[in-house]
């Protein structure tokens, strides 16, 4: 059984549906407040361009996390997920190293290959090669994080001799891999430090997580050292029946489900406090280490009830389960 971390994160609303525009200052204050409320990690979304009609204004994930890092002391700072092939791996390695220095070792980025072809075309990155580009980018970044002198040739990068200091505070620097296809699960187990998924019900999580663990073992790695997380929408109210339509209306406007994945809007946690706790316990029982809440419209009353009435009971449950 994988080590049960029992940590609880919260998503930030750095993208919105037009005509609403995300407010940078409000989001920094939100990050400060999430630390005060005791969440273990803060997760922001990552795109450069997202949508046309409708389109979704979005603040850059890493710039926003840097601002929040400067105002906080404890909370982990995460991307869920960073579209890695859209970024130059050498400049990204420098940026993440600097962010880890600024935050005192609190970066926990998750990365994936991406899905939105129009965004790749605009940035000038071949969409059909995104998997290979991601693997190369991971390799280059890992080497800069861990080696004093980096040299090598990759299809898009020639580095006769590269020296990058300072390194990240964290050794090793953790990177989670997002996605659902078997090749991605293998990447998470062998090239990453763990797997992040999105809107997975417990049974779907168990199926894919077992694949990740198997891939890790085949690679000679202790599967108990591999991390995982699941991002889950949640709405707390009088009952599931009272909130279900409202929640689904919002999810179907603001979120997409990747074709071919086991993500589903039906993963949404809904109901009164006790009902939500029972649903979330099923995810802990399934082996989810990091539960990341996507609260209904990021409303502060929702966030506060999660922090004050749900998370403490889940922490206690996870601690008891780990003892057993």
Q: What span, in angstroms and rounded, lies between the C-alpha atoms of 99 and 107?
A: 7
3-class SS of residue 111 = strand
User: What topology does CATH give the domain 7-323?
Assistant: TIM Barrel (3.20.20)
pLDDT category of residue 323 using cuts at 50, 70 and 90: confident
Q: What residue spans define the domains of the chain?
A: 7-323
- Per-residue model confidence (pLDDT) at position 6: 82
Residue found by looking up tokens 């339509």 in the block: 245
Query: Is residue 155's pLDDT more than 70?
Result: yes
C-alpha 40 chain-centroid distance:
13
For the segment 141-167, the average pLDDT, to the nearest whole number, is 98
Query: Is residue 62's pLDDT more than 90?
Result: yes
Q: In this predicted model, what pLDDT tens digit does every residue of 184-208 receive, in sequence order?
A: 999 999 999 999 999 999 999 999 9
Output the CA angle 249-118-139, nearest 5 degrees.
105
> Which pTM was predicted?
0.96
Residue found by looking up tokens 């407040």 in the block: 33
């Amino acid at each position: 059984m994988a080590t049960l971390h029992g940590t609880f994160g919260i998503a930030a609303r750095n993208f919105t549906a037009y005509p609403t525009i995300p407010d940078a200052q409000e989001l920094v204050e939100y990050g400060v407040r999430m630390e005060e409320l005791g969440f273990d990690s803060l997760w922001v979304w990552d795109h450069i361009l997202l949508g046309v009609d409708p389109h979704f204004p979005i603040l850059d994930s890493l710039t926003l996390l840097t601002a929040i890092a400067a105002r906080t002391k404890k909370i982990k700072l995460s991307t869920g997920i960073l579209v890695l092939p859209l970024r130059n791996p050498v400049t990204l390695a420098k940026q993440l190293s600097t962010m880890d220095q600024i935050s005192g070792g609190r970066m926990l980025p998750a990365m994936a290959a991406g899905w939105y072809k129009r965004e790749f075309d605009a940035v000038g990155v071949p969409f059909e090669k995104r998997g290979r580009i991601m693997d190369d980018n991971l390799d280059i970044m890992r080497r800069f994080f861990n080696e004093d002198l980096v040299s090598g040739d990759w299809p898009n990068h020639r580095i006769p001799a590269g020296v990058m200091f300072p390194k990240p505070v964290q050794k090793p620097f953790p990177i989670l891999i997002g996605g659902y296809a078997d090749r991605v699960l293998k990447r998470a187990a062998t090239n990453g430090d763990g797997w992040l998924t999105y809107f997975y019900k417990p049974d779907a999580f168990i199926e894919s997580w077992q694949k990740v663990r198997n891939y890790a073992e085949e690679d000679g790695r202790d599967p108990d050292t591999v991390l995982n997380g699941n991002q889950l929408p949640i709405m707390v109210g009088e009952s599931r029946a009272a909130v279900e339509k409202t929640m689904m209306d919002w999810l179907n406007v603001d979120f997409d489900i990747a074709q071919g994945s086991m993500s589903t809007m039906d993963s949404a946690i809904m109901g009164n406090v006790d009902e939500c706790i029972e649903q979330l316990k099923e995810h802990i029982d399934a082996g989810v280490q990091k539960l990341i809440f996507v609260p209904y419209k990021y409303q502060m009353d929702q966030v506060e009830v999660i922090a004050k009435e749900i998370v403490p009971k889940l922490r206690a449950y996870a601690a008891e389960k780990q003892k057993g």
